[in-house]
Structure 1
Amino acid sequence: MQLRWYQRESLDAVYQYLNAETGNPLVCVSTGGGKSVIIAKLIEELLSENPGRRFLVLSHVKEILEQNYSKLKAISPLLDIGIYSASLKRKDTDSQVLFAGIQSVHKKAFDLPPYDFVLV
């Protein structure tokens, strides 16, 4: 998938931050700017460096969960991807990449396995 210039710049800025800082990077992209694509490519690229990493991607609405899940599945169909969302009637827990509703996991966070990256 060919990224737009600002999507590539966003990812490059995240990598620069992760290499230089110890905090948490923040990426702001306007509506329709392709945040799902950026998330999917970030996960894909980080996994190409280290295939053992685990990701938790949180959202507050099921439509965004579905959109982010679908985009990553389209870009990397062989990845172990799951969804934990009461409204979507799925409660996967062992997936390498887990898309979860904040409301569904907030009281069960300690029941989930550890993750290397949490994206909100």
Structure 2
Amino acid sequence: MQVYKDVLSGDLTPADAKEKLQSESMREGEEIFVTPEIVKGMLDKYLVGEVGAQRLSDWAGFLTSNDVYVTPGWEDDTLADKYEPMWEVLQRLSTPFIDDAISKDRVESYIVELLKIEK
């Protein structure tokens, strides 16, 4: 479970996580919450040059392709709908070959979208 948390925080790359996950077992039903603040934190790291576009894309792809990552209250449709724009941002980040290259302007526009999500 710690591997997933380390990827979410940006402390571990998805490639390194895949290696570690081969030896780590996960209990059924474990969840790690993803919030707009966490996504914004990684986008901020991109803007200041701590992570590059490829790592940001890999990170977003890892989050969107692993069921362990959920939003708080994800079982409630109203709450799940509230976080949909965040998942759309992550999806676009994970597919820059479809949704345009990751750039400073694009990341700043994603931050604006994330800030619109009510806490």
Q: State the TM bucket, normalised to the shorter chain.
A: 0.3 to 0.5
Q: Which has the higher contact order (CA 8 A, sep 6+)?
A: 2
TM-score (norm 1): 0.33
More strand as a share of residues: 1
TM-score (norm 2): 0.33
